[in-house]
Amino acid sequence: KVLEVSAASILAKVTRDREIIALAETYPEYGFEKHKGYGTKAHIEALVKHGRCPIHRRTFRVKGVDEPTLF
């Protein structure tokens, strides 16, 4: 059973990474082809600079993006 679960996990990650890389063409300013959506420094910086795009999870909080402002 462990082998099957491990294989499914790898397939899911590879599939997700491929989908994110394909989305890099639609949202080039985020650099998805480099970090595949993981919370790297470059990705966080792009979020702060550009805000969220429609594919970003709303449950993931990022300092500088999700903080309320006065104006």
pLDDT of residue 69 exceeding 80, the answer is no
Question: Which is more confident, 53 or 1?
Answer: 53
Q: Map 9-63 to HEC letters.
A: HHHHHHHHHHHHHHHCCCCHHHCHHHHCCCCCHHHHHHHHHHCCCCCCCCCCCCC
pTM comes to 0.72
pLDDT of residue 44 exceeding 80, the answer is yes
Tens digit of each residue's pLDDT (9 = 90 or more) over 30-39: 999 999 988 8
Instruction: Provide, rounded to the nearest whole percent, the portion of the chain with pLDDT above 70.
Output: 93
In the predicted model, what is the mean pLDDT of the chain?
Answer: 89
User: According to the model, what pLDDT value does residue 71 have?
Assistant: 61
